[in-house]
Structure 1
Amino acid sequence: MAHYVGIDASLETVNVCIVDDDGTICLERKIEAEPEAIIELLKNFGKPIVRLGLEAGPTASWLYSGLRGAGLPAICMECRHVKAGLGAMRNKTDRNDARGIAELVRLGWFRKVFVKSDEAQRTRMLLVSRSHLLGKSQDIENCIRGSLKVFGLRIGSITKNGFEDRVLELVAGDQSLIAIVKPLLRARRAIIEAFERLDRLCIQLARRDPICRRLMTVPGVGVIVALTYVTGIDAPERFKRSRDVGAHFGLTPKRYSSGQIDYDGRISRCGDEMVRTALYQAAHVLMHHGRWSSLRSWAMRIAKRRSVKSAKVALARKLAVVMHRMWSDGTDFRWTDAQTPDALAATA
């Protein structure tokens, strides 16, 4: 008889539930959240395991890699499906969640989640850390700006390098303000230095990666956008069609059709928010800067019919599709002959 395993993982412990083909509970156990402990428990169980499911989460990729490495049929399950499946349960406990996951695995009512490679996870950590440092330095700048306004001291528009000198110039002669501001400026300086180190690591990583160099031939796509996109996709072959990538990152409209109601809503915003934001930023740069291209011409026509914001969202979706096709085919971005508005009008 086949058996199915459901695992509800937390930071320190996991609840394991094993059921058979009929849904009868064969084993329930709470053990340490380590792949070795789970492997030992299932080995001692001694009966064939058809599927082993765990919900996508912070430690899911680590547990998944360890279990798959041991030859177990582990599956990482999408959170929305698991939440919907467990929503009918009256009492929410870790033990009941493990039972519910085991039932979902037995019935096959789940959607698999692609688990990214270790290299992609490390690159994503680099990008997230860089983004956090940039945000913290901006938070300190905003704090100083807002605090000094109370005393009528306005910093105004200033470059990043000139910010510290401008602040010290404004508070000169006021010892109490100097004592407050200097620690903030030191912290800001240290954060910026750390940010610049991570930024250089990103540049070096993109230079060594042929995929990133190819994607950076697309107008509007720089080092950060290329790295973010590559870590978001990780394995291009998991998409059968390039146009599926836009929906994967939540850049396609939601559809609601029930009874007499049928309409398309706003974009779904599901999937990787970091990639979606990077694609939108690339679309903004493409529309307002650099050479004229077929993509920019296409987006401008949408902007005339609808709005600039809608055009940027559509262009971000288009970029996701084009970049995936370039990655799959091994080709660089191809510029059209209509590279200027005048040339485009002449060919129309």
Structure 2
Amino acid sequence: MKHYSGLDISVKETAICILDETGKICREVKAVSHPDDLIAVLKDPAWNFERIGLEAGPLSQWLYEGLAKAGLPVTCIETRHTKAFLKAQPNKTDRNDARGIAQMMRVNLYRPVHVKTLASQKRRALLTARKLLQEKAIAIENDIRGLLRNFGLKVGLVGAVKFEERIEELVEDRPGLGEIIQSLLAARKLLREEFTKLHKKVLDLVRDDAICRLLMTIPGVGPVVALAYTATIDIPERFTHSKAVGPVLGLTPKLNESGESKRVGRISCCGDDMMRSLLYEAAQVLLTLSKKWSWLKAWAMNIAKRRGRQKAIVALARRLAVIMHRMWCDGTEFYWTRENLPAAA
């Protein structure tokens, strides 16, 4: 007899429910959220597992890798789909959630999620840490500006390089205030130094990666965008068509259709927030700062004339994602003119 299992994962413990093919509960138990402890429960010879499901979350990649290496038929399932399925239950408990996930596995009503490779996870961690340091440094700079404004001291327009020099100039004649600001400047300096180290790691990775260098032939696409894209997509072959990348990154409009009513809304904003933001920034650079003319910029400019600049940038961000995927699959550089452009682009 075939068996199915659902895992409801939390930080400390994981609720496990095992069903047979008729839907009968064979076993319910809690185990420590560690691959070895879960394997000890699931590797029992009494079970003949067809599918094991766990919901995507902070621990899911680590647990998925451990269970998959043990030879278990584990699947990581989409969070929103799972939430909609479990919403029908009157009481939300870990036990009920594990039961619901096990039922999803049994009736084959689930949407699998791609679990990234270890290399892509490391790249993603690097980009996340880099962004975090950058945001904290900018937050301290803004706080310093706000504190000084209370004393009538205006920092004005100044770049990151000369920021510290400008602040010291403003508080030079205010010893009490200067001591306070110096502590913030010291914290900012440390954050900026560590940010520089991580940014150098990004540049080193991109320099040695042929795919990233290929993607950077597109105007507006720099090292951070290229590295983030390869880390997000991970395996390009998992998309049958390049156009499928747009919806996965949340860059296509929502559609709400019922009967005679059909509403097209804003973009769905599902998927990876960081990648979507980076593609939006790359589209802005291509549309406003890129000096060299290309068919892609001309296409975006025509949309801007008809629909407005903001919609043109979003449309360009989506098309950038599609083009980058096609270039990655084909191994071709960016075509600046339409003469050599493939018909599918």
Normalised to the residue count of structure 2, the TM-score between the two structures is 0.96
80-89 vs 45-54, greater mean Cα deviation: 45-54
Determine the structure 1 residue equivalent to 2:232.
Answer: 232
Report the secondary structure of 1:18's partner residue. Answer: strand
Q: After TM superposition, give the deviation of residue 156 of structure 1 in Å.
A: 0.8
For 2:338 and 2:324, how far apart are their aligned partners in 1?
20
Determine the structure 1 residue equivalent to 2:333.
Answer: 332
Determine the structure 1 residue equivalent to 2:148.
Answer: 148
Matches within 5 A, 1:197-346: 197-290=197-290, 291-336=292-337
Structure 2: give runs of 5+ residues left out of the alignment.
Answer: 340-345
Q: Deviations over 1:183-229 (max 9, x none)?
A: 00000000000000000000000011110000000000000000111
Q: Deviations over 1:246-305 (max 9, x none)?
A: 111011111111022112111111111111111111100000122110000000000011
For 1:205 and 1:194, how far apart are their aligned partners in 2?
17
Structure 1: give runs of 5+ residues left out of the alignment.
Answer: 339-348
For 1:250 and 1:305, how far apart are their aligned partners in 2?
23
For 1:225 and 1:42, how far apart are their aligned partners in 2?
41
For 1:257 and 1:143, how far apart are their aligned partners in 2?
46
For 1:86 and 1:47, how far apart are their aligned partners in 2?
25
Q: Deviations over 1:90-126 (max 9, x none)?
A: 1111111111110111111110000000110110010
Report the secondary structure of 1:113's partner residue. Answer: coil
Determine the structure 2 residue equivalent to 1:111.
Answer: 111
For 2:158 and 2:123, how far apart are their aligned partners in 1?
32
For 1:6 and 1:303, how far apart are their aligned partners in 2?
49
Q: After TM superposition, give the deviation of residue 173 of structure 1 in Å.
A: 2.3
Q: Which amino acid aligns with 2:63?
A: L
Q: Deviations over 1:123-161 (max 9, x none)?
A: 001001111111111111111101111111111111212
Number of paired residues?
338
Report the secondary structure of 2:113's partner residue. Answer: coil
For 1:184 and 1:43, how far apart are their aligned partners in 2?
54
Determine the structure 1 residue equivalent to 2:64.
Answer: 64
Q: After TM superposition, give the deviation of residue 308 of structure 1 in Å.
A: 0.5
Q: Which amino acid aligns with 2:73?
A: P
Determine the structure 2 residue equivalent to 1:24.
Answer: 24
Report the secondary structure of 2:43's partner residue. Answer: helix
Report the secondary structure of 1:232's partner residue. Answer: helix
25-34 vs 169-178, greater mean Cα deviation: 169-178
Determine the structure 2 residue equivalent to 1:186.
Answer: 186
For 2:50 and 2:44, how far apart are their aligned partners in 1?
16
Q: After TM superposition, give the deviation of residue 45 of structure 1 in Å.
A: 5.0
For 2:44 and 2:79, how far apart are their aligned partners in 1?
29
For 2:315 and 2:128, how far apart are their aligned partners in 1?
25
Determine the structure 1 residue equivalent to 2:101.
Answer: 101
Report the secondary structure of 1:264's partner residue. Answer: strand
Q: Which amino acid aligns with 1:60?
A: S
